[in-house]
Amino acid sequence: MLFTSYLFLGFLALVLILYYVLPKRAQWPLLLIASYVFYFAAGAHFLLYMFSTTVTIWGAAVLIDKNHAAQKAYLKEHKEGMDREALKAYRSSQKKIRFRYFLAALLVNLLVLAVVKYANFFIDNVNGVLKAFGSGEGLSFVNIALPMGISFYTFQAIGYLVDVYRGNTPAEKSLPRFALFVSFFPQVVQGPINRFGEMAPTLYAPHGFDGRQVSFGLQRVLWGYFKKMVIADRILVAVTAIFGDPSHQGAYVFVGMIFYRLQLYADFSGGIDITIGIAEALGISLRENFNRPYFSKSLPEYWRRWHMSMNAWFRDYIFYPLSTSPALVALTKAVRKRFGAGAGKRVPLYISSFAAWAATGIWHGASWNFVVWGLTNWFILMLSEELTPLYARFRKMTHTEHKRSYDVFQIGRTFLLIGCVNLFDCHATLGSTFRSFASMFTMNNYHIIGDGSLLQLGLSGLDYVILAGAWLLVLAVSLVQRKGSVRAQIEPLPYAVKYVMFFGLFLIVLLMGAYGVGYDQSQFIYNRF
Amino acid sequence: MNYNKIIKYGLTAVISLAILFFLQRLLVPKYVDDIVEGAFVAEYYEEVKDHDVIFVGDCEVYETYSPLVLWEEYGINSYIRGSAQQYIFQSYYLVEDTLRYETPDVVVFNIQSLQYDEAQSEAYNRMTLEGMKWSKTKVDAINASMKEGEQFLDYVFPILRYHTRWSALTDADFQYLFDKKKVSHNGYYMRVDVKPAENVPEGRPLGNYAFGENAWKYLDMMRELCEEKGVTLLLVKAPSLYPYWYPEYEEQVEAYAKEHGLRYINLLEDADAIGLDYSVDTYDAGLHMNLSGAEKCARFLGHVLSVEYGLEDRRGESALDASWQMKKEAYEAEIAAQKIKYGIEE
């Protein structure tokens, strides 16, 4: 049930009506049923994967929580009679029990994820090695369909498990309520990856009908459809034409790189707008996932503003735990002692961020392209970190510290840099990625930008005009967003003005959206992750 | 909610729906000046429903018989419910739809479409289905016709299908926004120009000549429906030289007709009896009949209907006479207009 299908719109309308018509106590159960129906529509057997994640994580979290409570009760009763060693031993033994629960649930879920998502990647690599050693026969590939949103809901559930294990969040005692947290239909497709502690208060709370809130939510949904259907699904045609044809090199790659950046943002942020807008209309708060990322002046800033929920997940559950782990702390001390404070400071940063970016890469997809994509990000981030003092000196020397033109240069540079890194996403193999990248500098065919060749990519001149106009609108909205919520700024305007704005936007989506016969209803790009 | 809010939101809804309605009317193809075939099905509803003969089928039916000749020479009041590449399941539902309004004596079905077991083109689906009035029959027809990727809702709200047509609007879209001119003559699509048939190719050998289950199913349904309503079903094959009509196709239709006691006329085999001359009776080298060919075919079929089926000569019924007189004027006016268009001298 694609977000852009009529079926989904009908489904959403029904859920919204029932949500506010039924008694409030029935609201979250309704969402649970709706979420399972939504997921069922993607494939009945996929429910098994989701249900197994739900049950294992919920069960482990409840056991961990019980152990926490039992330990607390035991210590309350016996603490005074215990010496320090006995106390330590008791705590350690209980922690081991909790760790066993935690590890068991973690491994089960990572194993499921590994099998459904990475089994063929593993087999492909094994076959490559066997072939290199002259073995004619390789392993057979497995035929397992990737369950919708498995990376998103698995990581969200694991995040919850870690929070409960750390004692940061109490375990949810009700399995159905936890099942809703894992399966909540607007976000199960492509996130954002939420935290239980943040989401639970509004997810399970009763909500009365609030016209303003519903209206705000639907306005955001409409904006999401605009980005997805008018921009992303239109430009997709040209992106596919460029990267689907190996003869498109040089300037085509450059154009494709820019187009893909625009498509990816419109597609992913549009999908997230739909997700958060639906949740808002239901009175539920979700994490934001974007903060005008294309205005970033550097790669580190970009990654603080793009796919924020995923980056926060990797930061909180991989980077921080790793950098503060006893082994790394010991290593840091040793390096500091031998090579000085500067080197000591870099050790945890380099190693932890390497692990986090390798994981981010492999999370995005089962291919070496994504691994190298992740590690390229890591390399540039570390390089950027190292060069920061140099940049600062350069700007001081050239008196560009407060120059707007330099800011614009930085924004453009970051945009292109990310574009180059994302070429890994546009190609199936590392070889074709590097060939494409190199061709931008070695092939002199930039005349295609002005000689009409771009009109042979499946887009008409009118399509380019629509894309340009739509992007100007996105840009204008992004500039207005600097002062806060756009919808809140629109709210005080006269009713007639607001009507023209939103009904006008609706008509733009209706008349210029890439949907229906003649268009492929495309999944959101992040669905496949 | 106070009174002012009700007015405000009510007015908003009315204005929004009016804009959407207007846009929908503007964007749907009018089928008036260019591809007129899409307008035929809808024109039937403007008729007085008192026909003796109803034709159903694809382009071979709406370009092969002149209803005016049937009227003028045999007093047969007929209507052609044909449309471009009409599939057999659509023909069935058009018969069912017709029977909601009237019960003709004879339904003539052109069997060319038996070779298609399922819809081949969304565009052709549209040209047949959009013109039908809404009823359960239309719903069934849509469901039977939709190809993969088509959505039922697109038929309910055509703006969803034609939403991108705003970049291809012509003057006709504005001119015929609310009222369209007739483009057919009782469903007959007239062409007066001539393009002789030369070097007609033989058909390429096929892997499988058997008509599909679905096609047979709907032919059975059509036959049973006609039996139930007391309507005679006549199977015909228009005298088009191509698409090639294979002997294997012919055998299957003959066997079916024999098994069920139906009359089947293959006009290809009667070309001499009809007096067809493919150097003057076709406008596209043998694919379709022009006016001359259509009038000859109507004359031939009219004889069958009149003599063999005993259809009553209704000339003399004042309402029909008056109606056909107007139709004749329109018919002759179009002949004159087309002769000018195609540079044909009298």
**Which chain A residue shows the shortest CA-CA distance from B1?**
A211
Q: From the centroid of its chain, how far is CA B332?
A: 21
Q: What are phi and psi of B232, to 5 degrees?
A: -85, 130
- B22: pLDDT confidence band, cut at 50, 70 and 90? very high
Query: Is the minimum CB–CB distance between A374 and chain B shorter than 8 Å?
Result: no
Question: Which are the contacts of B266, defined by CB distance < 8 A and separation ≥ 6?
Answer: B236, B237, B245, B250, B253
**Which chain B residue shows the shortest CA-CA distance from A6?**
B153
- Cβ-defined contact of B19 to A518 (cutoff 8 Å): no
Residues of A labelled catalytic: 364
pLDDT digits (tens, 9 = 90+) for B185-225: 999 999 999 999 888 778 888 889 999 999 999 999 999 99
- Cβ-defined contact of A511 to B122 (cutoff 8 Å): no
Check whether A529 has a pLDDT greater than 70: no
Query: Is the minimum CB–CB distance between A42 and chain B shorter than 8 Å?
Result: no
Check whether A266 has a pLDDT greater than 70: yes
pLDDT of residue B51: 95
Mean pLDDT of B118-137: 92
Calculate how close chain A gets to B224, using CA atoms only, in Å. 35
- Cβ-defined contact of A516 to B23 (cutoff 8 Å): no
Give contacts of B8 with chain A, Cβ < 8 Å: 495
pLDDT of residue A520: 58
- A521: pLDDT confidence band, cut at 50, 70 and 90? low
- Cβ-defined contact of A6 to B151 (cutoff 8 Å): yes
C-alpha B132/C-alpha B153 separation (Å) is 15
pLDDT of residue A118: 87
3-state secondary structure of B190: coil
- Cβ-defined contact of A513 to B163 (cutoff 8 Å): yes
8-state DSSP, B282: B
Calculate how close chain B gets to A129, using CA atoms only, in Å. 42
Give contacts of A511 with chain B, Cβ < 8 Å: 23, 163-164, 166
Rg (CA), chain B: 22
C-alpha closest to that of A229 among A15, A528, A524, A494: A524
Tokens of A220: 């955001």
Mean pLDDT of B283-287: 90
pLDDT of residue B250: 94
Tell which of B9, B12, B17, B164 to mutate to test the A interface (max A CBs under 10 Å): B164
pLDDT digits (tens, 9 = 90+) for A359-398: 899 888 888 888 899 999 999 999 988 888 888 888 888 8
Cβ–Cβ < 8 Å for A381, A370: no
Calculate how close chain B gets to A163, using CA atoms only, in Å. 44
Question: Which are the contacts of A346, defined by CB distance < 8 A and separation ≥ 6?
Answer: none
ipTM for the predicted complex? 0.85
Tell me which residue in B12, B154, B163 faces A511 most closely, judged by beta carbons: B163
Q: Can you name the residues that pair with B107 across neighbouring β-strands? A: B54, B233
Check whether A525 has a pLDDT greater than 70: no
pLDDT of residue A523: 59
- Cβ-defined contact of B163 to A516 (cutoff 8 Å): yes
Phi-psi category of residue A466: left, alpha or beta, with phi > 0 → left and psi -120 to 50 → alpha: alpha
Tell me which residue in B19, B23, B153 faces A6 most closely, judged by beta carbons: B153
C-alpha A95/C-alpha A101 separation (Å) is 10
Query: Is the minimum CB–CB distance between B160 and chain A shorter than 8 Å?
Result: yes
- Cβ-defined contact of B154 to A517 (cutoff 8 Å): yes
C-alpha A347/C-alpha A351 separation (Å) is 6
Q: How many residues does chain A have?
A: 529
- A304: pLDDT confidence band, cut at 50, 70 and 90? very high
Window from A247-251, B2-6, B131-135 with minimum mean pLDDT: B2-6
Tokens of A476: 């204008």
Query: Alpha carbon of A43 to those of A56, A172, A183, A517, B100: distances in Å?
Result: 21, 27, 14, 24, 42
User: Residue B346: inside a domain, yes or no?
Assistant: no
C-alpha A484/C-alpha A178 separation (Å) is 33
- A100: pLDDT confidence band, cut at 50, 70 and 90? very high
Tell me which residue in A503, A511, A513 faces B166 most closely, judged by beta carbons: A511
Query: Alpha carbon of A367 to those of A71, A364, A427, A429, A434: distances in Å?
Result: 44, 9, 11, 8, 15
Q: Which helix (H) or strand (E) holds A259?
A: helix A251-281
Cβ–Cβ < 8 Å for B130, B143: no
Tokens of A429: 């193999």
Rg (CA), chain A: 25
Give contacts of B166 with chain A, Cβ < 8 Å: 511
C-alpha A463/C-alpha B127 separation (Å) is 27
C-alpha B198/C-alpha A412 separation (Å) is 65
Mean pLDDT of A134-155: 84
C-alpha closest to that of B146 among B163, B165, B121: B121
pLDDT digits (tens, 9 = 90+) for A325-368: 888 888 888 888 888 888 888 888 889 999 999 989 988 888 88
Give contacts of B12 with chain A, Cβ < 8 Å: 499
Give contacts of B17 with chain A, Cβ < 8 Å: none
- Cβ-defined contact of A517 to B167 (cutoff 8 Å): no
Residue type, A452: G
3-state secondary structure of B109: strand
User: What percentage of chain A has pLDDT greater than the value 70?
Assistant: 98
- Cβ-defined contact of A510 to B163 (cutoff 8 Å): yes
pLDDT digits (tens, 9 = 90+) for A74-97: 988 887 888 888 888 988 999 999
pLDDT digits (tens, 9 = 90+) for A472-519: 999 999 999 988 889 999 999 999 999 999 999 999 999 999 887 766
pLDDT of residue B167: 87
Tokens of B236: 């015909």
Supply angle C-alpha A324, A330, A335, rounded to 5: 110
- Interface size, chain A vs chain B, as Cβ–Cβ contacts under 8 Å: 33
Give contacts of A515 with chain B, Cβ < 8 Å: 160, 163
Tokens of B325: 């007189």
Query: Is the minimum CB–CB distance between B48 and chain A shorter than 8 Å?
Result: no
How many alpha carbons lie under 13 Å from residue B24 in its C-beta half-sphere?
Answer: 14
Angle subtended by helix axes A341-364 and A368-397, to nearest 10: 140
Tokens of B56: 């159903």
Window from A16-30, A55-69, A99-113, A313-327 with minimum mean pLDDT: A313-327
C-alpha closest to that of B54 among B109, B110, B107, B113: B107
Check whether B124 has a pLDDT greater than 60: yes
3-state secondary structure of B180: coil
CATH of residue B315's domain is 3.40.50.1110
Query: Is the minimum CB–CB distance between B169 and chain A shorter than 8 Å?
Result: no
**Around Cβ B308, how many Cβ atoms within 10 Å?**
11
pLDDT of residue A82: 81
C-alpha closest to that of A526 among A311, A305, A291, A364: A364
- A428: pLDDT confidence band, cut at 50, 70 and 90? confident
User: Residue B319: inside a domain, yes or no?
Assistant: yes
Query: Is the minimum CB–CB distance between A13 and chain B shorter than 8 Å?
Result: no
Phi-psi category of residue A342: left, alpha or beta, with phi > 0 → left and psi -120 to 50 → alpha: alpha
Calculate how close chain B gets to A446, using CA atoms only, in Å. 30
Query: Alpha carbon of B232 to those of A397, B75, B78, B268: distances in Å?
Result: 97, 18, 14, 22
**Cα torsion angle, A362, A368, A373, A379, sign:** positive
Mean of pLDDT over chain A: 90
Query: Is the minimum CB–CB distance between B26 and chain A shorter than 8 Å?
Result: no
Question: Which are the contacts of A163, defined by CB distance < 8 A and separation ≥ 6?
Answer: A169, A195, A196, A197
**Which chain A residue shows the shortest CA-CA distance from B151?**
A516
- Cβ-defined contact of B154 to A518 (cutoff 8 Å): no
**Which chain B residue shows the shortest CA-CA distance from A495?**
B8
Residue type, A283: G
Torsion of CA A109, A110, A113, A116, to 10 degrees: -100
**Which chain B residue shows the shortest CA-CA distance from A516?**
B161
C-alpha A383/C-alpha A8 separation (Å) is 45
Query: Is the minimum CB–CB distance between A186 and chain B shorter than 8 Å?
Result: no
How many alpha carbons lie under 13 Å from residue A25 in its C-beta half-sphere?
Answer: 0
Give contacts of A6 with chain B, Cβ < 8 Å: 151, 153, 160
Q: From the centroid of its chain, how far is CA A258?
A: 20
Give contacts of B169 with chain A, Cβ < 8 Å: none
3-state secondary structure of B286: coil
pLDDT of residue A522: 56
C-alpha B110/C-alpha B119 separation (Å) is 17
- A403: pLDDT confidence band, cut at 50, 70 and 90? confident
Give contacts of B160 with chain A, Cβ < 8 Å: 6, 510, 515-516
Query: Is the minimum CB–CB distance between A510 and chain B shorter than 8 Å?
Result: yes
Query: Is the minimum CB–CB distance between A209 and chain B shorter than 8 Å?
Result: no
pLDDT digits (tens, 9 = 90+) for A21-57: 999 999 999 999 999 999 999 888 899 999 999 999 9
pLDDT digits (tens, 9 = 90+) for A200-253: 999 999 999 999 999 999 999 999 999 999 999 999 999 999 999 889 999 999
Cβ–Cβ < 8 Å for B222, B250: no
Cβ–Cβ < 8 Å for B281, B292: yes
